[in-house]
Amino acid sequence: MLKNYRRLGLYLKAHGRQYIFGILFLIVTDAAQLYIPQLVRKAIDLAASGFFGMKEILFAVLPMIGLALLVAFGRYCWRYFINGAARQIEAEIRGDLYNHLQSLSATFYARQKTGDLMAHLTNDVNAIRMATGIGFALGIDGVMMIIAVLVIMIDLNSTMALLSLSPLPVLTIGVIFFSRIVGEQFKKVQEGFSDLSDTVQESFSGVRVLKTFVKEAVFVKRFVSKNLDYSERNLKLVRSWGFFFPAVSLLAGLSTVLFIIFGGRTVMEGLMSPGEFTAFFAYLQMLIWPLLGAGFTINMLKRAGASLERINAIMDEEPDIASPPAQRMVTSQIKGGLAIRNLTFTYPGADSPALEGIDLDLPAGRVLGILGKTGSGKSTLVNLIPRLYDPPPGSVFLDGIDVREYDLTVLRSAVSVVPQDSFLFSASIRANIGFGNPRADEQLLKKAADVSTISRDFSMFPDGWDTVVGERGVSLSGGQKQRVAISRALAADSSIVIFDDALSSVDTETEDAILSDLPGMIEGKTFIIIAHRISTLKTADVILVLENGRIIQQGSHEELVRTPGFYADVYRLQQLEESIRKER
């Protein structure tokens, strides 16, 4: 478990001053608490003597009031410093974890569930906060109080101390055994919460599909199953945890019984004064809370250890795709000249290559069209350009430089992609369009909206282009989402613009309007367009036809139409469909 705390040590060190102040106030609080029974001893012995007046009573009571106020002040201060530091550590760990998650590549997210990641950012980080806050304080407080109380009790009456504390070794063995059980059970609880979160996230994200296929009952059943499993895991933990406190109380009660029996006889024999008996009893009761606190501390440390193990597993993940070392990293502006040399690419874990033997030369400012059947490798090819997946060394070049040599931020800033699945943020249409270019002025944003034709729909929205589109753009149609995504890519003002089947959800009239206005918006930029409609591709300078990851045809629209093959067949078929549509 200790190895899981190494990374946490860095955060504790950064807030060392706050913890030092917290420990100092904790010492002051404990010292005041430890001295109060001594005052009680003197007051009782004074009362037992029968020789006292109001003056003596005040002298006995006023110091107790002063110490009580000091205890209250000390408790406020140590909680302020220690719990405050824990809250700051919680925020820092969550921030660092989120930043690290942002740096990880697509392959990581392909094998991780969203609900599991959300559990790391919530429950796991919260468990660490509890350990670095109240858990840390209880641990320090427990150690100091146990040592101090034992010393004082032995000093008061060593024989009585050893007799009263004889059940303590049994308790110590029980705490060690208990801590192992709790750690394993809490890890299972966290895993159960991850499964539950993932089920909820998936059902909410796919609620439209769920309702379309009338599968609400199926998902309710799945949720109930995960919820009951999570509840059962918690109940197992509660049963183990609930057993600890009665056990401690039983052993503490046994210590009290032994003290009352033998301590009372000692007082009767005159070997201990009533005040000493009361003070000893008070110290014995003080010892119970640190023992209970030890259980709390172990519970929190075990929970934090399990959570740290899960978080460390993510923090130890290295991004598959990263910028090269600074000494050979290229940061120059990219103009957009694309060259591909004998590119063969296989997805991690796949048996066969998604692309094989691809060669291409596309000067900056030209238009490349890509056609092919589903699964032919079209999206894979364009995803390798901004290194969403890493191409083999020496296979993909921009301006004559291997894309793997560019600073990743520079490379991706030079490429704007409109993916097949248009994702919009829960923000206004204006914010979504300007997402890729914070410096874009109003004129550029409106021009991008005009080219994509989404500006035609502004009158339909309640607040125009300041309308908030909802999560994932849920309030927009598929075509509207796609056109907002097109506007976003154009407004980014990148050197390379990629449309990955970006016109699939718009009608032919809208498509023609977009394509007619597009040249003025992308003038001087390299433009790559993937489409299934020949009408979308016919103005491209070069067209690639892919099949099973290979280029089977390459040339201009006119050349490919005259050449027997897949392109010409698709062209004639679509011409026939268009003729039939017009006749109707």
Report the distance separating Cα 497 and Cα 368, nearest Å.
Answer: 10
Mean pLDDT of 113-141: 85
Q: What number of other Cβ atoms are within 10 A of residue 9's Cβ? A: 10
CA dist list (Å): 146 to 68, 82, 249, 255, 285: 20, 21, 16, 15, 11
Q: Is the predicted pLDDT of residue 172 greater than 70, yes or no?
A: no
CATH 1.20.1560.10 placement within the chain: 2-315
Record the pTM.
0.75
Structure-token pair, residue 359: 């060669």
394 backbone φψ class: left, alpha, beta (φ>0; ψ -120 to 50):
left
Confidence category of residue 398, pLDDT binned at 50, 70, 90: very high
Report the distance separating Cα 467 and Cα 487, nearest Å.
Answer: 16
The DSSP letter of residue 327 is: G
8 A C-beta contact, residue 23 and residue 77: no
Question: Which carries the bigger pLDDT value, residue 367 or residue 438?
Answer: 367
Give CATH superfamily name and number for 2-315: ABC transporter type 1, transmembrane domain (1.20.1560.10)
Q: Is the predicted pLDDT of residue 549 greater than 60, yes or no?
A: yes
Which SS3 state, helix, strand or coil, does residue 527 take? strand
CATH 3.40.50.300 placement within the chain: 334-414+495-584, 421-493
Residue 442 pLDDT: 87
* Secondary structure percentages of the chain, helix, strand, coil, to 5: 65, 10, 25
Report the distance separating Cα 371 and Cα 381, nearest Å.
Answer: 12
Structure-token pair, residue 52: 């006292």
Give CATH superfamily name and number for 334-414+495-584: P-loop containing nucleotide triphosphate hydrolases (3.40.50.300)
The per-residue pLDDT for range 179-208, each reduced to its tens digit, is: 667 667 777 887 787 788 778 777 776 776
Residues, the chain, total? 584
Confidence category of residue 353, pLDDT binned at 50, 70, 90: very high
Q: Is the predicted pLDDT of residue 53 greater than 70, yes or no?
A: no
8 A C-beta contact, residue 433 and residue 448: yes
8 A C-beta contact, residue 258 and residue 163: yes
Report the distance separating Cα 460 and Cα 450, nearest Å.
Answer: 15
Q: What number of other Cβ atoms are within 10 A of residue 108's Cβ? A: 16
Torsion of CA 236, 128, 168, 272, to 10 degrees: -130
8 A C-beta contact, residue 185 and residue 244: no
Looking from the CA of 534 toward its CB, the CA atoms found within 13 Å total: 18
Give residues with Cβ within 8 angstroms of 486, minimum separation 6: 418, 448, 451, 452, 454, 499, 502, 514
Residue 361 pLDDT: 93
Report the distance separating Cα 6 and Cα 278, nearest Å.
Answer: 45
8 A C-beta contact, residue 439 and residue 466: no
Q: 472: closest CA among 245, 208, 236?
A: 208
Mean pLDDT of 291-317: 80
Give residues with Cβ within 8 angstroms of 519, minimum separation 6: none
Q: 526: closest CA among 489, 572, 566?
A: 489
Give 1: exposed, middle or buried? Use CB within 10 Å, 0-12, 13-18, 19+. Answer: middle
Structure-token pair, residue 537: 């591709």
> Mean pLDDT across the chain, nearest whole number?
84
Question: Which carries the bigger pLDDT value, residue 169 or residue 361?
Answer: 361
CA 141 and chain centroid, separation = 32
Residue 480 pLDDT: 85
The per-residue pLDDT for range 194-248, each reduced to its tens digit, is: 788 778 777 776 776 676 667 778 888 888 888 898 888 888 877 776 776 677 6
Please give the biggest Cα pair distance in the chain.
123
**Is the domain covering 421-493 a CATH 3.40.50.1100 domain?**
no
The pLDDT > 90 percentage for the chain reads 27
Report the distance separating Cα 189 and Cα 197, nearest Å.
Answer: 12
Give residues with Cβ within 8 angstroms of 248, minimum separation 6: 171, 288, 291, 292, 295
Report the distance separating Cα 491 and Cα 455, nearest Å.
Answer: 14
